[in-house]
Structure 1
């Protein structure tokens, strides 16, 4: 039995308890801040354009700048986290989040705002690269499906951002821009997340791969103490070796064939064992974010310019809140679908294809209720797919490259997110630009189906139970 499997069995024996609930809450709050910041960019683009005298295309570049920071930061933070620890990176990036939300609140012009939001995205990249692996590696294997629920916190960040803006419409903003209120609340939430992270423990899998077996055992004992599980089995001394001449028919555990964490580099993601999945997962993230961030960034504009226009601010924000709130119920359904015969793979494929269909329905909508229903269904299927994707990514990589794999997929995803506001911002200025933009979003969801076929199903396999031959066949 590999050392990683021993750790999995111990975590399973310890079971779900107070520490897992605490970890879930802090990781969920951290992830929530990322998409809360996305909502902030969209709200600013709508509210501050007149004050700053900027075009819609220029304002859309706020989203591009933030996602650009996410794209660049994913590579950097993924490397740092793999060498110096997930928790250290997580806390440092929460500090960046506090500073940037606070500074953004007092932005005096467009150029100051776009500079700050870029660095905010850079910090978000570290949070997104470390939060999912941190949660997943401390989670009992039978509770791995709760990763799907962690993804709901990203959606909740969007809901909360637009809800704060909606409240300022109803209650008044006291002469202060709505987007400034949204940013100020983000600063407070970041402070709470940083304080809450005080008791987070480093991943025992990561510590063991770094050769810190004693610390890994101490972490497992601390988790057992939190969860009031006192029957803690002992781990054997690990013997982890790297064999560069493994034959395809050797049914050996990946975790027994990996390099020590300190020697791993990004090129490991593109070795014969991982290149196919790395390309396919990156493509899914890339095209998924083109469609998703295109909808988020331009939904207020689309609602103002589709055939049956909606122009009242309260109605616009109200519809967006309903879209996210009801659509996010898809995550609950996804938590069940990923463990059915559909598995992770077909849940992703079918749901993204459904998104593309309902994007077209949204454009031809000729009544308020048709607009509401079509957009809710877009987000419903999008969140089913996204949450399944959120689970399948860490399951596809062994512990020693999991943070790098997560960072790679995040970077590819955010590159799609960077292109989306820039491209759509240019298109909507052209004749029939709204129609073309919506078609691009629908097409991006459809392309995912092709790349989804290349991904290996991980249902029932577990993060440590992948044989080398399975990996090669991926």
Structure 2
């Protein structure tokens, strides 16, 4: 008991200082980091047809412009997560912003198709570090209201999609796709310029044995929030609380534990090995399947919205293709993106009240219910309403899944673990258009909807099998 009065942990520190002005500033920076990735995903819908017409590309060449971005995102999720876990989030921010901003701007001046494909792939690689911003912000938020503020952070993704649709609506009819690429790179430049003002994560600093630096960051947080830190000694959570679920074994020497962990998490593939440890292997595989299913569902619902909501009569009519090419596409994408806002609100209300697992289960069940009527062709207005509801709930479920993945992994592998899970989800995003669009345009709407329903059930099963509930749980530092 005497020792407990002499020390405090990082979780206790953030409980003392609360969520205040300091975290709001970090929220804005982390949100700014998510913004360009969402814009990049949306921009593919607008530049592809224009470039195809100007350069007379084949459908395969046009599709490659999108595929190469997803491949870049897939490689970037692990690469930037590894850099963040091993060398700190600030180095990850710098690399992400530098690569994304420069290649994004230069791609606007591409002289030919090959150079454009190469540069767009590099843009995707740079923006694959979105999970680094999310995991960094997570480590500054008190456990008591972590769920709410993580949902608020995810709101920046939706705002990014809405902003890109609005920007395309203004730029494309008046200028051209090169201007849209150039202007869309500006948020990444803003992330780069503000990089020097953001602090390193105290959890990373403690993991690296830099407890004094971590304490200085906490003092800045307390000062900005108008609070005071306890007059005790800061110790990493796993040292101060040896009963922590992810604590180091008791036989590890206390004084050498920080140095030992620093060597361990800086070794080549230790983050990967940790994901397959006896404690995490079940969670890791279930999260991979969950992220694949959720991402496939998310893009599947979006594709169904654009393919089905505009069909007035017969299957596969030319009307859907025409709408995908004219200016109304920008307004349509803008409106459908708004469906995600109530989904985020519902997830914010649920996840701190009923828990992460129950929230994902409820939202997935609602997604399933909204998709059921679409097995049979419905009237256009009803189809649009059902798809809006499905998109609302699948977006909420995906958001909670992202938060859960960040919370369940310890600090030493948080960015890597969540980044790889996102990468597996990206694979689902790549496969989805190939399968879903082929089914819908081939007059197989029931098969497309049934496929989405099967994936919804699969995601529910994965959630129920996940071994940990993370609501209100302190973040762990090591395995």
Q: Which range moves more in the overlay, 144-153 or 454-463?
A: 454-463
Displacement of 1:443 in angstroms is: 3.3
**Which of 278, 291, 295 in structure 2 is aligned with 1:272?**
278
Q: Which residue of 2 aligns with 1:454?
A: 465
Return the alpha-carbon distance in structure 2 between the equivalents of residues 292 and 3 of structure 1: 49
Q: Tell me if the contact between 2:356 and 2:471 (Cα under 8 Å) persists in the aligned partners.
A: no
Q: Tell me if the contact between 1:136 and 1:147 (Cα under 8 Å) persists in the aligned partners.
A: yes
Q: 1:62 to 1:221 in 2, by over 3 A?
A: same
TM-score by length of 2: 0.84
Q: Tell me if the contact between 1:82 and 1:401 (Cα under 8 Å) persists in the aligned partners.
A: yes
Q: Tell me if the contact between 1:427 and 1:434 (Cα under 8 Å) persists in the aligned partners.
A: yes
Listed one character per residue, the Cα deviations across residues 34-57 of structure 1 (whole Å, up to 9, x for unaligned) are 111000122223443333333445
Q: Which residue of 2 aligns with 1:326?
A: 339
Return the alpha-carbon distance in structure 1 between the equivalents of residues 105 and 244 of structure 2: 51
Q: 1:16 to 1:363 in 2, by over 3 A?
A: same
Q: Which residue of 1 aligns with 2:64?
A: 61
Return the alpha-carbon distance in structure 1 between the equivalents of residues 338 and 400 of structure 2: 18
Return the alpha-carbon distance in structure 1 between the equivalents of residues 61 and 13 of structure 2: 53
* Residues 323-472 of structure 1: pairs in structure 2 closer than 5 A: 323-341=336-354, 343-359=355-371, 361=373, 366-424=378-436, 431-432=442-443, 436-464=447-475
Runs of 4+ in 1 over 6 A off after TM superposition: 1-5
Displacement of 1:147 in angstroms is: 0.5
In structure 2, runs of 5+ residues without a counterpart are 250-256
TM-score by length of 1: 0.85
Listed one character per residue, the Cα deviations across residues 118-155 of structure 1 (whole Å, up to 9, x for unaligned) are 111111122x2311110010112223021111112112
* Residues 55-454 of structure 1: pairs in structure 2 closer than 5 A: 55-126=58-129, 128-145=130-147, 146-168=149-171, 172-174=173-175, 176-177=176-177, 180-237=178-235, 252-257=244-249, 260-264=261-265, 265=270, 266-296=272-302, 300=306, 307=313, 309=319, 311-312=322-323, 313-341=326-354, 343-359=355-371, 361=373, 366-424=378-436, 431-432=442-443, 436-454=447-465
Q: Which residue of 2 aligns with 1:247?
A: none
Return the alpha-carbon distance in structure 2 between the equivalents of residues 3 and 424 of structure 1: 59
Q: Which residue of 2 aligns with 1:35?
A: 38
Q: Which range moves more in the overlay, 310-319 or 88-97?
A: 310-319
Displacement of 1:434 in angstroms is: 6.1
CA RMSD of aligned residues (A): 3.1
Q: Tell me if the contact between 1:35 and 1:155 (Cα under 8 Å) persists in the aligned partners.
A: yes
Q: Which residue of 2 aligns with 1:244?
A: none
Q: Tell me if the contact between 1:61 and 1:422 (Cα under 8 Å) persists in the aligned partners.
A: no
In structure 1, runs of 5+ residues without a counterpart are 242-249
Q: Which range moves more in the overlay, 40-49 or 386-395?
A: 40-49
> Secondary structure of 2:110's match?
coil
> Secondary structure of 1:404's match?
helix
Return the alpha-carbon distance in structure 1 between the equivalents of residues 371 and 55 of structure 2: 32
Displacement of 1:276 in angstroms is: 0.7
Displacement of 1:451 in angstroms is: 1.1
> Secondary structure of 1:267's match?
helix
Return the alpha-carbon distance in structure 2 between the equivalents of residues 458 and 4 of structure 1: 27
Q: Tell me if the contact between 1:162 and 1:320 (Cα under 8 Å) persists in the aligned partners.
A: yes
Listed one character per residue, the Cα deviations across residues 187-240 of structure 1 (whole Å, up to 9, x for unaligned) are 112222222333111110111011111111111112222223244443245596
Q: Does 1:50 align with 2:53?
A: yes
Displacement of 1:294 in angstroms is: 4.0
